[in-house]
Amino acid sequence: MLRFEIQATCAETGARAGLLHTPHGTIETPVFMPVGTQATVKGLMPRDLIDPIDARIILSNTYHLFLRPGHELIREMGGLHKFMAWPRAILTDSGGFQVFSLSELRKVTDEGVMFHSHLDGSRHMFTPESTVDVQLAFGSDIMMVLDECLAYPATHDATRKSMDRTIRWARQAFTHYRQQEQDKCSLFPIVQGSMFPDLRRACAEELLELNAEGYAIGGLSVGEPRDLSQQMVEITAPLLPFDKPRYVMGVGMPDELPEYVARGIDMMDCVIPSRDARNGRLYTSTGNLSIKQARFRNDAAPVDEKCGCYTCKTFTRAYLRHLYQAGEILYSVLATLHNVTRYLDIMRQMRESILLGVFPTFLAAARKASLKDE
């Protein structure tokens, strides 16, 4: 059960600021959801995500948790919130995307998708109904329907066939979901259609009939140019209900966040801040830096002087570079803490600018700065 409240809209762009009330607290939108793949945002304690990062919602992956530790165990342990000691909202994907990206052996039929675990080769089946059941076991605040995610590029014909299947699966998922006696978990359908505007439109129209509490745009960040992803969102977002949250899945780089917000998006998620952190790529208010570079060897400055995170308030670039070079766990912890803070700071700044009616200025400045290396 969600309640979405729009607080302000931008007069010149599609940007909006709102409040999304969930059974596990209120989320200020636009929001970026840190990814907690295996029931943990890699390296971060829940308390660090809460104070001072103030993350209100995280995303976790159904595929991974289904395989390990298993949804029945998580149900037995009181649900995902309790299991991972995360008191705030959780969105889980359907597992579809990971089946397509991680599982070598898979077979898609009208019934669902059969796949072999990337961990031990064991065989499993995801159906529109089963993935709802798995997510209900987690007790997710927001669940996603099973969809088929095509690689880029795909032909118009293949995309239409796949999209039709995604729509059928969404209907089945909603039928099953509405038969459950629960009012805590919401379900979002996912608009597919690859890079074809007509199919995106057709898919959105069909899914609107489900009268869902929110809608996602999927099938992006699958290898296409950034312009194309943004174009697809620009076409699709206005077709979705104005008064419901819109979620673009799996994006993006820091300089893409304002582009999606400008196109009317309220929710995003991506592994970039945490994965790049571990690989030495740090995002700052003045650009990006690769901490492994020799020039940071004796750099006594923090990663980002304007950042208020523990990492920036406490440590130098020189120390972080040392930890990185030495392969220390603490490097990953501190770097992730910073990058996630940076992402959420960008979101907060955008939200603030929308509320103040100056988002176009923010957007122009963000575009001018673009994504440069320090």
Handedness of CA 334, 339, 344, 349 (dihedral sign): positive
Q: Catalytic: 373?
A: no
Coarse DSSP helix, strand, coil percentages of the chain, rounded to the nearest 5 percent:
45, 20, 40
Pairing of β 281-284 and β 287-290: antiparallel
Residues that bind its own copies (CB under 8 A): 38-40, 42-47, 64, 68-69, 73, 76-78, 83-85, 297-298, 300, 310, 314-316, 318-319, 321-323, 325-326, 328-330, 332-334
How far apart are CB 250 and its own copies at their closest, in Å? 21
Q: Which of 48, 93, 147, 304 is catalytic?
A: 93
The CA-CA-CA angle for residues 256, 257, 261, to 5°, reads 120
Give whichever of 24 and 176 is closer to its own copies, judged by the CB atom. Answer: 24
> Least CB distance from residue 41 to its own copies, whole Å?
8
- Closer residue to its own copies, CB minimum distance, 237 or 335: 335
Contacts of 187 (CB under 8 A, 6+ apart): 132, 142, 143, 144, 145, 173, 174, 177, 212, 213
> Which of these, 215, 212, 70, lies nearest to 133 by C-alpha position?
70
- Strand ranges (DSSP E) for the chain? 3-9, 16-22, 25-29, 31-33, 57-60, 89-92, 106-108, 113-116, 123-126, 142-144, 186-188, 190-191, 215-217, 246-248, 267-269, 281-284, 287-290
345 is a catalytic site residue: no
- Spatial separation of the C-alpha atoms in residues 153 and 151, rounded to whole Å: 6
Minimum distance of its own copies from residue 57's CB (angstroms): 19
Catalytic residue (choose from 48, 147, 269, 304)? 269
Residue nearer to its own copies on the CB measure, 246 or 321? 321
- Those residues whose C-beta lies under 8 Å from the C-beta of residue 74, and which sit 6 or more positions away, are 39, 65, 80, 83, 137, 138
Residues tagged active-site: 93, 269
